[in-house]
């Protein structure tokens, strides 16, 4: 490349035109021309034609001006941006409406709830309208549930009054005073007994009628009858005597298997033979006791602390219902080894006594079937 000499700049510029690609502008124009064609800048006639078109007046339209103004405005949006903006604005309005409805509904509910007590207190009471009274309908009352009847225990005095007529005094007047343990010096043995059959059969102890002499029975109403010995068993200390009487009051047998320790009992008899129809009170002190009487050991005895004295042997031991649960048989007053004892008496259980006494009655009367005392009492 040639450069103009500094001595004559003006002359060199007039004689030789500058190389069109010697400057950056020329380089850029050359690149544009190679890509898009020759520029109108290098063609003065093209420039004059373009300027002529621009200076030519054109009729103005309001609508076009407005649209142009919108297009030329810096905040204008094209069609795609306009749709997106409108959609976003719609979603914002919808969300705002929902949130506003929820908040407004919650505020409204809170306001209504807070005002309900005040409205209830202020609200006027409506006067009920009179309605015709319906005709009464007959209703059947429900049948009451029957209550269980309480078990009534008869009074003790009533029980004793019912039992005493069947208790007797048995006297065995010994001959020649052969009884060493007689109550009186005349050789008389006194005991008690119970009427177990209305035909005159009386149960007592064997040791009362052992070595029988003249036997006599005194009823509770003071009537006296001679008696005969029907049967006896010294191993069980039981015996039966009979008097010639009918329709006598009889005892009612109880169940000695059901008795328990501490159960209340009464003993009835004629202590010492001078105090008939005496009653003593006590409890069941022991069960299944064994005792030696006249060289015989009797087991299964009932122990009680009810007072049983000499003369009370053969009398009944009854429960609160007036049932005979035992036949009184023996007392312990003094022991050679242990000294004096108090409140120790024994009775033969009623179940054991019945097993002996009722068959004896059947054998004596010639009946094949024994007659229980309870059935005789019901006649």
What's the average model confidence in pLDDT over 367-379? 50
Output the pLDDT for position 67.
44
Cα separation, 137 vs 125, whole angstroms: 32
Residue 183 lies in a domain: yes
> 31-35, 108-112, 279-283: which has the minimum mean pLDDT?
31-35
Catalytic residue among 197, 237, 270, 280: 237
Check residue 247 and give left, alpha or beta (phi > 0: left; psi -120 to 50: alpha): left
Cα separation, 223 vs 240, whole angstroms: 19
Residue 100 lies in a domain: no
Contact 206/237 with Cβ under 8 angstroms?
yes
| Catalytic residue list contains 181 | no
Residue 176 lies in a domain: yes
DSSP-assigned letter for residue 198: T
| Catalytic residue list contains 13 | no
Other Cβ atoms less than 10 A from the Cβ of 77: the count is: 13
Beta bridge partners of 225: 217
What's the average model confidence in pLDDT over 274-296? 87
Beta bridge partners of 339: 335
- What is the domain count for the chain? 1
Give percent of the chain above pLDDT 90. 34
Instruction: Output the 3-class SS for 39-81.
Output: CHHHCHHHHHHHHHHHHCCCCCCHHHHHHHHHHHCCCCCCHHH
Catalytic residue among 166, 192, 278, 313: 313
Output the pLDDT for position 135.
66
Give the dihedral sign, CA 20/26/29/35.
positive
Q: Which long-range contacts (CB under 8 A, 24 or more apart) does 365-369 make?
A: 365/199
Structure token pair of residue 27: 């380089």
DSSP-derived secondary structure for 203-260: EE-HHHHSS--EEEEE-TTS-EEEEEEEEEETTTTEEEEEES--S-----B--GGG--
Q: With 80 as the cut, is the pLDDT of residue 203 above it? A: yes
CATH number, residue 259: 2.40.10.120
* More confident of the two residues 89 and 279: 279
* More confident of the two residues 323 and 2: 323
Residue 6 lies in a domain: no
What's the average model confidence in pLDDT over 344-365? 91
Residue 163 lies in a domain: yes
End-to-end CA distance of the chain: 172
User: pTM of the predicted model, to two decimals?
Assistant: 0.56
Catalytic residue among 207, 220, 280, 347: 207
Residue 109 lies in a domain: no
CA-based nearest residue to 314, from 251, 221, 226: 251
Q: With 50 as the cut, is the pLDDT of residue 26 above it? A: yes
3-state secondary structure of 35: helix
CA-based nearest residue to 248, from 228, 273, 266, 221: 221
Instruction: Give every CB contact of residue 295 below 8 A, 6+ residues apart in sequence.
Output: none
| Catalytic residue list contains 166 | no
CA-based nearest residue to 203, from 211, 193, 213, 212: 193
Contact 36/30 with Cβ under 8 angstroms?
no
Q: With 90 as the cut, is the pLDDT of residue 108 above it? A: no
H or E element, residue 280? strand 278-293
Instruction: Give every CB contact of residue 281 below 8 A, 6+ residues apart in sequence.
Output: 264, 265, 266, 306
H or E element, residue 296? strand 296-304
| Range of the structural domain that residue 165 is part of | 156-378
Residue 259 lies in a domain: yes
Contact 211/187 with Cβ under 8 angstroms?
no
CA-based nearest residue to 306, from 363, 339, 346: 346
- Degrees (nearest 5) of the Cα angle 298, 212, 276? 75
Q: With 70 as the cut, is the pLDDT of residue 163 above it? A: yes
Contact 252/198 with Cβ under 8 angstroms?
no
* More confident of the two residues 52 and 185: 52
CA-based radius of gyration for the chain: 69
Q: How confident is the model at residue 9 (pLDDT cuts 50, 70, 90)?
A: very low
Residue 343 lies in a domain: yes
CA-based nearest residue to 252, from 200, 318, 199: 318
């Amino acid at each position: 490349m040639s450069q103009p000499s500094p001595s004559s700049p003006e002359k060199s510029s007039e004689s030789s035109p500058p190389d069109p690609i010697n400057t950056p502008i020329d380089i850029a124009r050359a690149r544009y021309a190679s890509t898009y064609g020759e520029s109108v800048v290098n063609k003065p006639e093209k420039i004059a034609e373009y300027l002529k078109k621009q200076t030519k007046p054109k009729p103005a339209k309001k609508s076009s001006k407005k649209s142009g103004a919108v297009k030329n405005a810096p905040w204008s949006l094209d069609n795609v941006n306009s749709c997106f903006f409108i959609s976003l604005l719609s979603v914002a309005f919808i969300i705002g409406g929902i949130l506003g409805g929820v908040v407004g509904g919650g505020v409204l509910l809170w306001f209504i709830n807070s005002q309900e007590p005040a409205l209830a207190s202020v609200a006027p009471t409506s006067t009920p309208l009179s309605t015709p009274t319906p005709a009464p309908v007959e209703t059947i009352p429900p049948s009451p549930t029957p209550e269980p009847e309480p078990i009534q225990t008869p009074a003790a005095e009533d029980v004793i009054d019912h039992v005493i007529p069947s208790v007797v005094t048995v006297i065995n007047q010994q001959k020649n005073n052969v009884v060493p343990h007689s109550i009186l010096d005349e050789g008389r043995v006194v005991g008690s007994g119970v009427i177990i059959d209305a035909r005159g059969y009386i149960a007592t102890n064997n040791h009362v009628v052992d070595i029988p002499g003249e036997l006599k029975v005194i009823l509770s109403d003071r009537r006296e009858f001679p008696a005969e010995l029907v049967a006896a068993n010294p191993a069980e200390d039981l015996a039966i005597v009979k008097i010639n009487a009918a329709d006598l009051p009889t005892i009612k047998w109880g169940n000695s298997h059901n008795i328990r320790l501490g159960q209340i009992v009464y003993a009835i008899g004629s202590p010492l033979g001078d105090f008939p129809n005496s009653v003593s009170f006590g409890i069941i002190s022991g069960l299944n006791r064994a005792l030696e009487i006249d060289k015989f050991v009797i087991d299964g005895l009932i122990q009680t602390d009810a007072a049983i004295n000499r003369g009370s042997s053969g009398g009944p031991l009854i429960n609160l219902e007036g049932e005979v649960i035992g036949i009184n048989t023996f007392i312990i007053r003094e022991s050679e080894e242990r000294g004096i004892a108090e409140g120790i008496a024994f009775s033969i259980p009623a179940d054991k006594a019945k097993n002996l006494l009722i068959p004896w009655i059947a054998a004596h009367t010639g009946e094949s079937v024994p007659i229980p005392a309870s059935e005789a009492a019901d006649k």
